[in-house]
Structure 1
Amino acid sequence: MIPALRRLIIVRHAQSEANAVGSLHCTVPGPALTAQGVEQAEKLVATLADEDVRAVWSSTMLRARQTAEPLAVSRDLPVQVHDGFRESYLGDLHDRRDAEAHEAFDDVYASWLVRAELEVRCPGGGESGAEVLERWLGALDEVVLGLDVGTAVVVTHGAATRLAVSRLAHIEPTWALTHHLPNTGHIVLDEEDGRWACRSWGGLQPGF
């Protein structure tokens, strides 16, 4: 197989302090990485050692920027930051840790991803699925415009990523809903015949 001229690797950030306590923290800059998260970010450098990385991007959230930094330093590249890649804003569910809050977000997320009800919002002024998609895919357009050849790595967030990439690469919605990305799990997209083909989703072959 001839290698793709352009590749995107979309990485979920390493473990954050919010992840460690089950918090739905979704505002900028947000919590830092845990000690385990720092180790995960450093291991990402070796994981992507064979990739022709030409650009490293991150959301504006601290956990994403801290994840991106070791890779960028190893390649002598800057971390380019874009607010479009931040996590979905969840309104009144922000920073909650209880099961009821997690269930409420799961229901909203299923509305977006599986039922294509993109106008649905979390209570208290949360973003709609349409708003998340518009800003995330708009940010990705800027990444692609700046990439003539090689690989761009984008460090972002789990929920927004699964929603956007499932649309971008035509992943079966129920499959995307049930296949979470672990911390520093990543999706590989290759340019193919004018579209983005998903080569790997957290190490798995995705459902189409």
Structure 2
Amino acid sequence: MRRRGSRRLIIVRHAQSEANAIGSLHCTVPGPELTEQGREQAEKLVASLADEDVRSVWSSTMTRAQQTAEPLAAARELDLRVHDGFKESYLGDLHDRRDAEAHEAFDDVYASWLVRAELENRCPGGGESGAEVLGRWLGALDEVVVSLDDGAAVVVSHGAATRLAVSRLAQIEPTWALTHHLPNTGHIVLDEEDGRWACRSWGGLRPGL
């Protein structure tokens, strides 16, 4: 049981989107909506977080993230707070592609960010660098933390950006973070301990175990 006065962050990957269903690397705002399965996943998220002391609900500016967060915000009678910093990585020329070559190209760039800390790398055609993604995401999270006096804040974001940022924030071994994808509505639980954020759960697992 957590002590009174402690703070928790629950970082959720959005539910299944229309882009997920067809394997598209869609990465611009506002982006596609949730599928019917995704809407069901968003409703189930409400029940899965029923025991959490949720004080605020945040999402990225992307439609799929907002649609995932809305049922939870409504159930807790909270306003949904939307922040552009939590959006997915922009992939330049790889945007909206579905082919294996595009996925492999992004995987290579992403591994260079996460494992080799080559944060200046970017996807071709004006994609964001790892440093840009990390900077805006963690900057947005700072706003969440400042606004949270106690209890939990839920942030609905996106798989790639979330794993990159949280692995840095909670000092998770990079290769472990790279190989442990978050499923749709999978979430990471971080507790504040002695001035740092400790990972309690990453999609139901403890990192490094």
Shift of 1:206: 0.5
Aligned to 1:123: 124
Aligned to 1:57: 58
- Cα distance in 2 for partners of 1:149, 1:91 equals 39
Aligned to 2:161: 160
Count of paired positions: 208
Letter in 1 for 2:140: A
Aligned to 2:175: 174
RMSD: 0.9
- Cα distance in 2 for partners of 1:9, 1:207 equals 19
1:81-120 per-position Cα deviation (integer Å, ceiling 9, x unaligned): 0000000000000000000000000000000000100000
**Aligned with 2:12: secondary structure?**
strand
Aligned to 2:77: 76
Shift of 1:207: 2.0
**Aligned with 2:176: secondary structure?**
helix
Is residue 146 from structure 1 mapped to residue 147 from structure 2 by the alignment?
A: yes
Aligned to 2:12: 11
**Aligned with 2:155: secondary structure?**
strand
1:159-180 per-position Cα deviation (integer Å, ceiling 9, x unaligned): 0000000000000000000000
Shift of 1:124: 0.1
Aligned to 1:109: 110
Aligned to 2:41: 40
- Cα distance in 2 for partners of 1:103, 1:2 equals 41
- Cα distance in 1 for partners of 2:29, 2:83 equals 12
- Cα distance in 2 for partners of 1:122, 1:107 equals 9
Q: Provide TM-score, normalisation by structure 2.
A: 0.98
Q: Provide TM-score, normalisation by structure 1.
A: 0.99
Aligned to 1:190: 191
**Aligned with 1:152: secondary structure?**
strand
In structure 2, stretches of 5+ residues that fail to align are none
- Cα distance in 1 for partners of 2:136, 2:170 equals 17
**Aligned with 1:54: secondary structure?**
strand
1:53-101 per-position Cα deviation (integer Å, ceiling 9, x unaligned): 0000000000000000000000000110000000000000000000000
**Aligned with 1:7: secondary structure?**
strand
- Cα distance in 1 for partners of 2:79, 2:91 equals 30
- Cα distance in 2 for partners of 1:28, 1:166 equals 24
- Cα distance in 1 for partners of 2:53, 2:59 equals 18
- Cα distance in 1 for partners of 2:31, 2:191 equals 31
Aligned to 2:137: 136
Aligned to 1:89: 90
Which consecutive aligned stretches of 4+ in structure 1 deviate over 2 angstroms post-superposition?
1-4
Letter in 1 for 2:63: L
**Aligned with 1:126: secondary structure?**
coil
Shift of 1:51: 0.2
Letter in 2 for 1:58: S
Shift of 1:2: 4.0
- Cα distance in 2 for partners of 1:27, 1:43 equals 26
Q: Using a 3 Å threshold, how does the CA distance of structure 1 residues 42 and 2 change in structure 2: closer, same or farther?
A: closer
Is residue 29 from structure 1 mapped to residue 37 from structure 2 by the alignment?
A: no
Identical positions, percent: 86
- Cα distance in 1 for partners of 2:206, 2:76 equals 28
- Cα distance in 2 for partners of 1:97, 1:134 equals 27
